């Protein structure tokens, strides 16, 4: 049974540049069926949380350009559940907006904050983990995050180290919270065996997060606190435009989590992946006998270790490739070596010079 004081905030405003050409400015990855499952990443995310909280307690924070896409993909949401950001200001303002709005509605709220672009298996274990976390934060001043056991020295994730005395406890007090270290530091973290990836999933009660914002991001907190008077009215849109024009761009990780002394973590027992790049998508996807990940309609010959994602209505023939990314979407075809996938952002910049329709 769901709890009326449990809420979910889904952050769905990112651009997803590294998954170009599938992810575009007009329709980023969270609004697409990247995995070929018949559901978009956003739809998968919201379905994951329906066993945890009432649908009326789910809020989507997204850019104002994507509001109509959200409505089309999640037609059961009320307008007040879609929080439109006029400009992108990273995760701290996004979380502040949702937190102060929920606080006005329910001062006893416990909130899960999650990105819209993660892949999570083992639904029962996931639900149990989140429910335990929500129960823990209901009566404790905790800023709780879900930690993931790292499998490689990835510089794209934040890292968490817990206090040794909490090693045998389910909920561990965090000693160090470091956002996106350089490669040498990430290698040291992995070798030490003491660090976890930050999943980007946060759980806290609404009083704890607003108190933390007021302490560590004072100006941002003041702006949203003052705007509360206009929430749930026709004046909200104009008030938020004013707030976003004035507030700084800060991540919740650097702005709050790295500084706070009441950060805790639970180690995930479910399968988790951040769908940030084509290689990360390759790593988590089912593969054929030649280690190819195939989505679309293809004929494959002497080809191995590739991810090939093409339209179902087009027959694609691939011969003699090893370790490549091949993606066709709309009016763009990209062929790139997997080890060079960091160049995708450069491709996007250069493609823009060919015309805005390509990005």
pLDDT at 1 over 60: no
pLDDT one-digit tens code per residue, 146-204: 999 988 888 878 899 988 888 788 889 999 888 888 889 999 999 888 899 999 999 99
pLDDT one-digit tens code per residue, 256-277: 999 999 999 999 888 888 888 8
Indicate the range of 30-39, 71-80, 85-94, 235-244 predicted with least confidence.
30-39
Q: State residue 154's pLDDT score.
A: 82
pLDDT band at 103 (very low <50, low <70, confident <90, very high): very high
The sign of the torsion formed by the CA atoms of 94, 52, 260, 177 equals: negative
Give 274 or 299, the one with higher predicted confidence.
299
pLDDT band at 2 (very low <50, low <70, confident <90, very high): low
The runs of H, that is alpha helices, within 84-175 are: 91-105, 123-138
Strands across the sheet with 307-309, in order? 293-295, 307-309, 324-329, 332-337
Residues 6+ apart with CB under 8 A from 350: none
Reduce the DSSP state of residue 231 to 3 states and report it.
coil
List every span in the chain annotated with CATH 3.90.550.10: 6-274
Give the end-to-end CA distance of the chain in Å, rounded to a whole number. 44
- Class of residue 12 by CB neighbours under 10 A (exposed 0-12, middle 13-18, buried 19+): buried
Q: State residue 300's pLDDT score.
A: 98
Reduce the DSSP state of residue 282 to 3 states and report it.
helix
pLDDT one-digit tens code per residue, 338-355: 999 889 999 999 999 999
The predicted model gives 242-259 an average pLDDT of: 95
The sign of the torsion formed by the CA atoms of 253, 258, 261, 263 equals: positive
Backbone dihedral angles phi then psi of residue 252, each to the nearest 5 degrees: -65, -30
Reduce the DSSP state of residue 202 to 3 states and report it.
strand
Q: State residue 35's pLDDT score.
A: 76
pLDDT one-digit tens code per residue, 215-240: 999 999 999 999 999 999 999 999 99
What CATH number has the domain spanning 6-274? Answer: 3.90.550.10
Q: What is the mean pLDDT of the chain?
A: 93
Q: State residue 153's pLDDT score.
A: 87
Q: State residue 37's pLDDT score.
A: 82
pLDDT one-digit tens code per residue, 41-88: 999 999 999 999 999 999 999 999 999 999 999 999 999 999 999 999
């Amino acid at each position: 049974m769901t709890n009326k004081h449990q809420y979910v905030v889904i952050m769905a405003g990112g651009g997803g540049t590294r998954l170009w050409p599938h992810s575009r400015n007009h329709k980023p990855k969270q609004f697409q069926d990247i995995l070929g499952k018949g559901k978009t990443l956003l739809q998968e995310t919201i379905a994951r949380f329906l066993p945890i909280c009432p649908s009326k307690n789910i809020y989507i924070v997204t850019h104002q350009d994507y509001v109509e896409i959200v409505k089309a993909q999640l037609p059961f949401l009320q307008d007040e559940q879609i929080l439109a950001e006029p400009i992108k200001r990273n995760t701290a303002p996004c979380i502040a907006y949702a937190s102060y709005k929920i606080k006005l509605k329910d001062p006893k709220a416990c909130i899960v904050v999650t990105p819209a672009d993660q892949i999570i298996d083992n639904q029962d274990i996931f639900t149990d983990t989140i429910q335990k976390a929500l129960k823990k934060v209901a009566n404790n001043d905790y800023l709780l995050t879900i930690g993931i056991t790292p499998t490689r020295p990835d510089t794209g994730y934040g890292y968490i180290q817990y206090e040794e005395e909490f090693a045998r406890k389910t909920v561990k007090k965090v000693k160090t919270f470091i956002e996106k270290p350089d490669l040498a530091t990430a290698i040291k973290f992995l070798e030490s065996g003491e660090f976890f990836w930050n999943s980007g999933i946060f759980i806290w009660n609404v009083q704890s997060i607003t108190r933390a914002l007021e302490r560590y991001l004072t100006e941002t907190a003041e702006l949203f606190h003052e705007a509360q008077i206009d929430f749930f009215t026709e004046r909200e849109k104009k008030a938020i435009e004013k707030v976003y024009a004035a507030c700084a761009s800060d991540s919740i990780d650097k702005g709050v989590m790295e500084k706070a002394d009441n950060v805790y973590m639970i180690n995930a027992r479910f399968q988790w992946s951040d769908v940030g790049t084509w290689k990360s998508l390759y790593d988590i996807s089912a593969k054929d006998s030649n280690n190819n990940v195939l989505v679309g309609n293809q004929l494959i010959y002497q080809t191995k270790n590739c991810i090939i994602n093409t339209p179902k209505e087009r027959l694609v023939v691939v011969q003699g490739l090893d370790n490549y990314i091949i993606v066709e979407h709309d009016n763009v075809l990209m062929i790139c070596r997997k080890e060079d996938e960091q160049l995708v952002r450069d491709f996007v910049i250069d493609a823009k010079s060919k015309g805005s329709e390509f990005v």
